[in-house]
Amino acid sequence: MATSITDLLLLGRGVDLASERGVSCPGELPAVSDPNLVERARAARKALGSRAFVLGHHYQRDEVIAFADVMGDSFKLAKDAAARPEAEFIIFCGVHFMAESADILTSASQKVILPDLAAGCSMADMANSEQVAQCWDALTAAGVADQTIPVTYMNSSAAIKAFTGEHGGTVCTSSNAKTAMAWALEKGEKVLFLPDQHLGRNTAVLQLGLSLDDCAVWNPWKENGGLTDAQITRARILLWRGHCSVHGRFTVDSVNEVRARIPGVKVLVHPECQYEVVSAADVVGSTESIIKTVAQSPAGSKWAVGTELNLVRRLATDNPDKEIVFLDKTVCYCSTMNRIDLPHLVWVMESLVQGRLLNQITVDPKIAKYAKIALDQMLALP
Ligand code: 13P
Ligand code: SF4
């Protein structure tokens, strides 16, 4: 896709891109106020039957999750999508990079659909191919590229995953970042971790026991990443300067405040939070592991959870015997995850029933070939 999701949002054109690319958008997007939305969704889902498989990320709205055949973190959903060869349509209720990965991991005859094309990920947009190629050129000039293994977080475009596959690296998710980084450090002397500096730092320092001094931040907006060749040579982990705009907002103050307000509370955060926040927390884990940790805790447990709001609300509903609070009242939903709502889901499902395929996500075969190498490497990690 030539235009990034950030570009789309900045330009405020949303799904209009589809018509610009010559894709017509027939049919009407149902109104949010339509009282028959749930009925319409049920009828369309029933009509599609086993031809469709609906995946829902944990950050999706409840109204969407109600129609998901499976729910999961990005690792589980990638595996689930790959395990449904009989489904003609994979409806991905998540964000763009997840739908791209599903397209790469499914067969050529399967069609992956993202109900709203403007559902991107601001972190994934923080690394583009040109910037990564410039970084690699600088590592080559510094004489370290041949000892460096790229590790790309799932939250990246297919093109970045392809770069990783082409250079002997792997994709990782928040649930296997430790294994992926340890694998890369056995294979080479350095790791280029992108695009989330926080997940990279938390994994290197808090999970693998490296020091903060072993890490250097590569700033794609500065000459030579803002580093000297000596700093590049010395670093074991080069962290791309990207972050999640939702998780990056939790602070150590919010951790201290909740501990003072709720005695006995345990703080549970996603590893996309800043290093200081993760260091101060009691438990860190992917969305799937956050859910398991709370579910397995005894009745009466108190948890302050630092991740996206739809998931925290669902945790509170699903665990009425526990006290679940949001870690910081000022942090809100992931606005791009939230773009997928029931009207968009109804729109794409009803269109499929009528024989019209909307919002298909396809990855260029040349990119898909190398991106699949990196994704398969991730799936083969121990
Ligand atoms: P998970 O891999 O934990 O599902 O996280 C994906 C994500 O986008 C978190 O912000
Ligand atoms: Fe991207 Fe952050 Fe939203 Fe996850 S929560 S999809 S990393 S912007």
Query: In the numeric block, which tokens belong to residue 341?
Result: 């709502």
pLDDT at 26: 53
CA angle 330, 334, 340 (to 5 degrees): 140
| pLDDT exceeds cutoff 70 at 310 | yes
* Residue 288 alpha carbon to ligand 2 centre in Å: 15
| pLDDT exceeds cutoff 90 at 191 | yes
CA angle 28, 34, 40 (to 5 degrees): 75
Query: In the numeric block, which tokens belong to residue 142?
Result: 């510094």
Taking the CA of 336 as reference, the closest ligand is 2
Pocket of ligand 2 contains residue 288 by CB under 6 Å: no
- The fraction of the chain above a pLDDT of 90, given in percent, is 89
Which residue segments constitute the domains of the chain, with CATH numbers given? 2-121+337-363 (3.40.50.10800), 124-243 (3.40.50.10800), 247-326 (3.40.50.10800)
Pocket of ligand 2 contains residue 308 by CB under 6 Å: yes
Residue nearest to atom 7 of ligand 2 (CA): 244
> Taking a C-beta distance cutoff of 8 angstroms, is the pair 116, 358 a contact?
no
pLDDT band at 329 (very low <50, low <70, confident <90, very high): confident
Pocket of ligand 2 contains residue 337 by CB under 6 Å: yes
Residue nearest to atom 6 of ligand 2 (CA): 121
Residue nearest to atom 5 of ligand 2 (CA): 334
Residue nearest to atom 2 of ligand 2 (CA): 244
pLDDT in tens, 228-271: 999 999 999 999 999 999 999 999 999 999 999 999 999 999 99
* Residue 247 alpha carbon to ligand 2 centre in Å: 8
Secondary structure letter of residue 41 according to DSSP: H
